[in-house]
């Protein structure tokens, strides 16, 4: 089953009819190859997988190299499958993941086309282990597309986390925030076109006026406008990205992209996905003091932050990890 983002009446959509036609043409073309392919990933190749804003944001798998077999072959430096059994491969991949043997995972790569708000792109680009080519607003005119958070995600500043959200605002307050964001974005884009003296369709606004250079006109656009890029990364570094950005503490918007990419990961390398979910997203890393505290707790000792040599914050995190009531 494919996941193409299809336009629907009355909704904002990620793709124009022309863009969808281009994707349909690519998906209708097939090639004979001797290299490894993954049927489940081929099913969604080139399709726009909607993420934010009723599909205005998306990810698309453009190309990939390798599969679970490539990881196993690299780890064993073997010629091919031979007489191996799938459970042997899963056991090896589990071992590699559990013991942080990362280089076999670097044998697989994936190339994605991502459409995302600029403020999320600036978080995303912090992961400097990928090859990136972004849409250039020096060369082209940005579309009039911007992100407005859904009402349930319009929240106050957290009182305990300087980079997080707290309680959701009341509906009237949240709607006013959405109105302000929309008004500001619409005004900024109108001024952007006025500075350019040109529309995104290439039409001149005033024949008697010279437009400002595109590299200068873009300055007034706000961070909620959408940008696009091609992003190519190996599997090891993709999983590092997902471990951080699918975490509950990550910003909701980038987490939405990470959640979609985890589904792509499952299609692409199902054995690796299983190990990743078990040992990375579902697992935890303990400090020496935390591990010692757990051992003492299992032995029936009474342990608190001071006797464990841990800060109050570290102790709270350990209690939450062990699903224990806070100890005072």
pTM above 0.85, yes or no: yes
Backbone φ and ψ of 150, nearest 5°: -65, 155
pLDDT reported for residue 166: 75
Give the H/E segment covering residue 87. helix 86-98
- 288-306 residues labelled b (16+ CB within 10 A) or e (exposed): ebbeebbeebeeeeebebe
**Is the domain of 41 the same as that of 6?**
yes
> Does residue 306 form part of some domain?
yes
169-206 per-position pLDDT tens digit: 899 999 999 999 999 999 999 999 999 998 888 889 88
Residue 275 has, within 13 A of its CA and on its CB side, a CA count of 24
**Is the domain of 12 the same as that of 125?**
yes
Q: Considering the candidates 56, 214, 218, 245, report the single residue annotated as catalytic.
A: 245
pLDDT reported for residue 169: 87
**Is the domain of 166 the same as that of 180?**
yes
**Is the domain of 42 the same as that of 116?**
yes
- CA dist., res. 208 & res. 322, Å (int): 70
Domain count, the chain: 3
**Is the domain of 114 the same as that of 177?**
no
- DSSP result, 176-237: HHHHHHHHHHHHHHHHHHHHHTB-TTS-BS-TTSPPPPHHHHGGG--TTBEEEEEEEEEHHH
Mark whether 245 is an active-site residue: yes
In the predicted structure, residue 30 carries a pLDDT above the cut 80: yes
Backbone φ and ψ of 230, nearest 5°: -100, 135
Region 43-56 average pLDDT = 91
In the predicted structure, residue 293 carries a pLDDT above the cut 70: yes
59-68 per-position pLDDT tens digit: 999 999 999 9
What is the extent of the structural domain holding 132?
1-147+224-283
CB 3 within 8 A of CB 41: no
Region 271-282 average pLDDT = 96
* 8-state DSSP, 54: G
CATH assignment of the domain containing 114: 3.30.1360.170
């Amino acid at each position: 089953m494919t996941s193409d983002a299809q336009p629907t009446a009355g909704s904002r959509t990620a793709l124009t009819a022309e863009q969808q036609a281009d994707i349909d043409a690519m998906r209708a073309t097939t090639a004979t190859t001797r290299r490894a392919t993954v049927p489940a990933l081929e099913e969604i190749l080139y399709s726009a997988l909607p993420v934010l804003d009723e599909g205005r944001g998306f990810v698309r798998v453009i190309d990939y190299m390798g599969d679970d077999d490539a990881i196993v072959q690299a780890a064993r430096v073997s010629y091919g499958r031979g007489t191996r059994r799938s459970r042997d491969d899963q056991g090896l991949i589990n071992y590699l993941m559990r013991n942080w043997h990362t280089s076999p995972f670097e044998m697989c790569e994936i190339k994605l086309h991502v459409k995302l708000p600029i403020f999320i792109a600036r978080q995303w680009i912090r992961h400097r282990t990928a090859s990136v080519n972004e849409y250039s607003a020096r060369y082209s005119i940005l579309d009039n597309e911007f992100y407005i958070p859904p009402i349930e995600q319009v929240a106050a500043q957290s009182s305990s986390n300087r980079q997080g959200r707290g309680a959701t605002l009341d509906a009237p307050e949240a709607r006013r925030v959405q109105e302000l964001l929309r008004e500001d974005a619409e005004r900024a884009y109108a001024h952007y076109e006025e500075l350019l003296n040109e529309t995104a369709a290439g039409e001149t606004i005033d024949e008697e006026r010279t437009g400002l250079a595109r590299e200068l006109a873009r300055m007034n656009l706000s961070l909620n406008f959408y940008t696009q890029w091609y992003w190519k990364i190996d599997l090891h570094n993709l999983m590092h990205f997902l471990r951080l950005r699918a975490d509950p503490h990550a910003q909701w918007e980038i987490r939405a992209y990470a959640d979609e990419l985890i589904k792509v990961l499952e299609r692409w390398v199902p054995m690796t996905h299983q190990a990743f979910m078990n040992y990375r997203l579902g697992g935890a890393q303990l400090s020496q003091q935390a591990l010692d505290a757990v051992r003492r707790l299992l032995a029936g000792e009474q342990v608190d932050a001071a006797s464990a040599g841990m800060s109050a914050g570290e102790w709270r995190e350990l209690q939450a990890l062990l699903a224990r009531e806070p100890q005072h």
